[in-house]
Structure 1
Amino acid sequence: MAIRFSKLTRPAIRTLKIGDSLTEHGITFRRDANGDGVYSVNIMVDRRRIHRVIGRESEGVTRQQAEDFIAQARTDARRQRLELPEGRKTPLSFEETADRYVQRLRDSDGKNIDIKERQLRQHLVPFLAAKPLSAIESFDVERYKKARRTEGAAKATINRELATLSHLLNQAVEWKWIKSKSVRINRFKEDNQRIVYLTDNQCVALLDAAASDHNENIHAFVMVGLHTGMRHAEILAIRREDVDVGKRVIWVPQAKAGSREQPITRELAEYLGKRMDMLPPGCEWMFPSPGSATGHAHTIRKAFRRSAERAGLDPDQITPHTLRHTAVTHLVQAGVDLPTVQRISGHKTLSMVARYAHQSGSHIEAAMDRLEGRVSGTQEDNIRKLKPKSSA
């Protein structure tokens, strides 16, 4: 049914004075100081306000185009309602979804909740706030990537944010907030960057700083990380029964490459033995957390950040995963063969371990020196054996 206008009529528009405006049925016409007219719309559709400038009279824009815009917006809203899961009357905005998503993760002991919440609050929500969750398109993702790159964000940083967005959308389907995930998220191809690891002195400084923190778990966490190269989540999920001090191994039942026995150093075996003696009787976990639904800690990032700062390290660059990089890099620099390093670190493929082989030139030079020592003859002898080119 066509909209009937009594105020915003063609005669009224033609006679409108400079600086005045007419509004009817959500459409506004304003006469600017230069005499040109501007059409805009301001309407509510499914509890969402849409305010848009349609265009200028001088550009050929008419009231009909404003009417067409409103009709299309309402058609799109009806389509979105048809795509909603059963029981929902209006689509969830991205902002509302983000709040619900974080709360669900907290209720179910999700992983990396603080990081995901920060990514959403600081970047994703401001960009996608009023967008209905079911209406997010690949074009929105590409615009987000461009905007973040313009702000100076690294490709790796943006990829982590896109991973959070992808997980949110997947969970929204599982929790029946939307019927399907139609958006395709293409991540950046990351540049091969130098792996960050700690020097010997930095390891000592971090251990000393962790020992003075009020979190009773952080020093043990750093000890295990530096002495094994285990992943953040693997360390925090260690059970007392999984530690065999005599055999110097930790059983890791759930790891990326499958279950494994994690070798540990003699120093760490003695340390864990004493730690287990100090834990409360009946305590199941090496890193207990009474407030957690599982009984053990799931993150230790805040305490790690405090310790890194106290040790004079950059907490934005040095993270819990840096301990894994450090352990593996030190093994390689010590001359341990890569298959053995892979056995210790639990990497799935040898190529993943090979990334660490370039971290220091000193162990490469030492290896070449050993090769030189196995080759017969001396440098002087070999130089004398060089035959000069014939002058003929």
Structure 2
Amino acid sequence: MPDLISQIRQTLPALLDDAGENAARRVIEFFTAEIRNKNTRRAYARAVRQFFDWAADRGLTLEEVEPVHVAAYVEDDDRSASTVKQHLAAIRRLFDWLVTGQVLASNPAAPVRPPKLVVEEGKTPVFTAEETRELLDSIVEEKQDIGRLRDRGLIGVMVFTFARVSAVAGLDVGDYYRAGHRWTLHLQEKGGKRRDIPVHHKAGQYLDAYLDAAGIRDEKDAPLFQSLSRSRELTGRRLQSDNILQMVKRRAEEAGFDPDQVCCHTFRGTGITTYLENGGKLETAQHIAGHASATTTKLYDRRNRNVEQEEIERIRI
């Protein structure tokens, strides 16, 4: 924690650092005590820095920031509505923290309305069931080395559990366990949420093949998905989300797909869409995915996008 505090202090925007010791300390407390998730902390830090750099360029101090300035910043931002909305939420939350810490008398971001955002369908590209099967089969069709078995198992888990990549990266060997007659995965999602999901038989086959080849089935506290050494042996170190994204794009390209149209969330959306296409219930998909709202789950549902080629050919000109 001291290292984190020092790191945050060194990267404080000049406007906040110049606001005095109390303000600087309160900002540090915000990013250490209030924001516990590393990904959220990183995103909020980026949003805060961009806003206060913008304010400093206009000669403002912390005490001089007013709602009209925050509104102007939002108005000038030409990024997507969802990005602007997220940045405004970060700025508003920090100002709230400064108000409750008696650094400021009021929150200048509170009255500022975010841009209107209407999203009926997410932008994450998804595969069809056939494309997903083609990708998974292609990973081990040439040779079944440990890296290929690991990658197939990892992608299989994302597809069949709708899990976020961070939750899959965080799995230990012991999180894949037998409960009665069925195998289960113990997933820890963002916000500290824990989910126990029954393992689809195909995902189980992929995991068993990987674990048997790796010889780590009894190492319960070891990372389930590990990085590889130059000699193609497991290192014992956890595979990180960025590494998984690179792997996913590489495997997709090897299988003949456009890597720019594939990301880790592709498999979350693919799993949800395929489940719903086969008669699954939206509320159950919501539970499996760990979504707080069914509205979020529906963003991953691409059933309405699927138009058969034969229907397009009806446009006879």
User: Could you state the TM-score of these two structures normalised by the residue count of structure 2?
Assistant: 0.59
Q: Which one is further off, 221-230 or 340-349? A: 340-349
Distance 1:352-1:117 versus aligned 2 partners, 3 A rule = closer
What CA distance in whole angstroms lies between the structure 2 residues aligned with 1:324 and 1:182?
A: 38
Letter aligned with residue 241 of structure 2: I
CA change 1:304–1:235 in 2 (3 A) is same
Change (3 A) 1:254 1:356: closer
Helix, strand or coil at the partner of 1:360: helix
Determine if the alignment matches structure 1 residue 320 to structure 2 residue 246: no
**Are 1:240 and 2:166 counterparts?**
no
Question: Secondary structure at 1:268's aligned position in 2?
Answer: helix
Paired with 1:300 and 1:173, the residues of 2 have a C-alpha distance of 35
- Matching of residue 229 in structure 1 with residue 157 in structure 2: no
Choose the corresponding residue for 1:341, options 285, 288, 313.
285
Q: Does 1:286 align with 2:224?
A: yes
Q: Is the 8 A contact 2:170 2:188 kept in 1?
A: no
Q: Report the residue type matching 2:114 in the other structure.
A: R
Mapping of residues 1-392 of structure 1, within 5 Å: 87-88=21-22, 110-112=38-40, 115=43, 123-124=50-51, 126-129=53-56, 131-149=60-78, 153-166=79-92, 168-169=94-95, 178=103, 182-183=107-108, 184=110, 186-195=113-122, 196-200=124-128, 203=132, 220-245=153-178, 247-252=182-187, 259-277=194-212, 278=214, 279=216, 281=219, 283-287=221-225, 300-301=241-242, 303-305=244-246, 307-308=248-249, 311=253, 312-313=257-258, 315=260, 318-354=262-298, 359-360=303-304
* Separation of aligned partners in 2, 1:102 and 1:301: 26
**Residue type at the aligned position of 1:338:** L
Cα distance in 1 between the residues matched to 2:56 and 2:167: 35
For the residue of structure 2 that corresponds to 1:187, the secondary structure is: coil
Q: Structure 1 stretches of 5 or more lacking a match?
A: 1-47, 50-79, 290-294, 364-392
Identity of aligned residues (%): 16
**C-alpha contact 1:229 1:327 (8 A) present in aligned 2:** yes
Report Cα offsets for 1:84-134 as digits up to 9, x if no partner. Answer: 6xx54xx65xxxx7xx799969xx77225665566566x445423454445
Decide whether aligned partners of structure 1 residues 141 and 345 sit closer, same or farther in structure 2, where only a CA change above 3 A counts: same
Q: How far has the Cα of 1:137 moved from its partner?
A: 3.1
Point out the structure with the larger helix share: 2
User: Is the contact between residue 301 and residue 319 of structure 1 (CA under 8 Å) also seen in structure 2?
Assistant: no
- Structure 2: stretches of 5+ with no match in the other structure: 1-13, 228-235, 308-317
CA distance in structure 2 between the aligned counterparts of 1:354 and 1:339, rounded to whole angstroms: 10
Counterparts of 1:171 and 1:203, CA distance in 2: 45
Q: Distance in 2 between matches of 1:349 and 1:114?
A: 25
Measured after TM superposition, the shift of residue 331 of structure 1 is: 0.8
Q: Which has the larger radius of gyration?
A: 1
Q: Any conservation in 1 of the 2:187–2:195 contact (CA below 8 Å)?
A: yes
- Structure 1 contact 256–348 (Cα < 8 Å) conserved: no
Relative to structure 1, the CA distance from residue 359 to residue 134 in structure 2 (aligned partners, 3 Å threshold; closer, same or farther) is farther
Higher relative contact order (CA 8 A, sep 6+): 2
* Letter aligned with residue 116 of structure 2: K
Aligned partner letter, 1:286:
L
For 2:131 and 2:106, the matched residues in 1 are separated by 45
Q: CA offset at residue 147 of structure 1?
A: 0.8
Aligned residue type for 2:71? E
Aligned residues: 262
Distance 1:249 1:224 in 2: 11
Moved more, 134-143 or 250-259: 250-259
Task: Check conservation: 1:249, 1:263, Cα contact below 8 A.
Answer: yes
Question: Per-residue deviation at 1:145?
Answer: 1.4
Change (3 A) 1:233 1:148: same
Shift of 1:356: 5.3
Task: Give the CA deviation at 1:181.
Answer: 6.7
